[in-house]
Structure 1
Amino acid sequence: MTTTVPGGPDAAELPFFVYGTLLPGEPNHDLFLRGRTAGERPAVLPRALLYEGPGYPYAIEGHGRVHGTLLIAAHGVYGELLGLLDHLEEFLGPGHPRNLYERVVREVELPARSTARPTAEAGEAGEPGESVRAWVYLAATAVTRSLRTGGVLIPEGRWSTGRAAGGA
C-alpha cells in the first residue's frame, strides 16, 4: 500500500526507510541523523527499482527490490527529523509540482537476522522476516518519467558512493 497523506492516519511516527546518502557511512547520515535515531537496521523495499541520480539515487515503483536501512526516530525528535528529511529530499507536499521526491508510506521488509547485529531491538519496528510500514522518499512524477525513459538502473538495488564499506 502506498499513501502520500503526511498528516493522515498512516503518519503516526512511522520509521523511515533510506537507501542513499542517508545510509550509515554515507555523507548525509552524520549530518542529518546523528543523535536523532533510536535504531537503524537493514531493510528491503519490495516492488521498487533504484536509479542513478546526480550524486544520489532515486527509487521508483517497479518490479525489483531496493536495499537500505530502516531508521527509528529518537524519542522527542520525530517532528524535527521529519522536517529535516522533507527539506533534504525537496518534498514540499503531496503532489507539489516542484517536488524532487514524494514521501509515501510503504511496506518495508525486515530480513531475517544475520551475523550483523542491528542497533534497534527487534520489537521496536517489527520482527525479522516481517514487514513494517515506513516513510519512503520515492522520485516525484516528473523525475520518474525521465528515469523510465533514459535513466541508469542500479543493479540489484544497492547504492553506494564507494566511501562506505558495505554501505547497503
Structure 2
Amino acid sequence: MEQLPIFVYGTLLPGQPNAYMWADSVKKVETAVFPQGLLYDMGHYPMLVEEPGGSIIGAIFTLHNAHFQQVVQRLDELEDYNPQAHAQSPYRREKRIVGLRNGRSIQAWTYLGNPSYVKGMPPITSGDWVSHASKKGTPFLDWWANVTTVKGLLTDNNDATK
C-alpha cells in the first residue's frame, strides 16, 4: 500500500478520544480541508460522505515509514474497514485530494462513510467535528472510555448509539 499521509476529521484528531492511536508514529500534523463532503453525527463519532457543496475541517497526519502499516491496521480496525469487503464496509479507506492551509493540495488516505449508513442521521453542516463534539460534553467522552472499534455499531444502518 502506498505510504501517503492520512486525512482525519473526527475522533482521531488531536484532543479527541482516539488521538492516542497515533502514539509516537507521527512525523508531522497539518490542518487540512476535505472538499466536497458532508459530516454526519453518528452519535459518538462522525461519518464523512462525499457530497457536493460542503467542506470538512480536519488534519493530515504524516507517519514515520516504520510505523505506517501498523497504524493503518489499527485504523482499519477502529473504522471496521475490511479491504477484502471494501464495498460492504461502513467506512472505506480511499485516496483523495485534500487542501492544506498554504494553498497546496495533497493526496491522502481517508476513511469515507458508506452513504447507506447516514440515512436519518443529522448532518454537521459546519464540517467541524471538534467544535460539534465540544458541545456533547462528558457523556461523549465517557462512552469512548471503553470503545476500541466501531465494528458492530453500524449493523442496523442508523443505530450508531448501541
Is the pair's TM-score, using the shorter chain for normalization, greater than 0.5?
yes
Q: Which runs of 4+ in 1 moved over 2 A?
A: 94-98
**Structure 1 residue 97 displacement after superposition:** 5.6
Instruction: Note the residue ranges of structure 2 that are not aligned, 5 or more in a row.
Output: 138-162
Q: Aligned pair 1:46/2:35, yes or no?
A: yes
Cα 1:94–1:109 shift into 2, 3 Å: farther
Instruction: Note the residue ranges of structure 1 that are not aligned, 5 or more in a row.
Output: 1-6, 112-127, 164-168
Residue 31 of structure 2: SS of its match in structure 1? strand
The amino acid of 1:132's aligned partner reads: I
Cα distance between partner residues in 1 of 2:41 and 2:111: 15
Q: Please tell me the root mean square deviation across aligned C-alpha atoms, in Å.
A: 1.6
Count of residue correspondences: 132
- Tell me which of 113, 116, 120 is aligned to 1:150: 120
After superposition, the C-alpha distances for 1:16-62 in whole angstroms (9 at most, x for unaligned) are 000000000001002x0120110111000001111101300000011
Identity of paired residues, percent?
33
The amino acid of 2:4's aligned partner reads: L
2:95/2:107 contact within 8 Å kept: yes
The amino acid of 1:150's aligned partner reads: G
Q: Aligned pair 1:19/2:14, yes or no?
A: no
Give the number of the structure whose residues are more often strand, by fraction.
Answer: 2
TM-score (norm 1): 0.74
Cα distance between partner residues in 1 of 2:117 and 2:66: 38
**Other-structure match for 1:122:** none
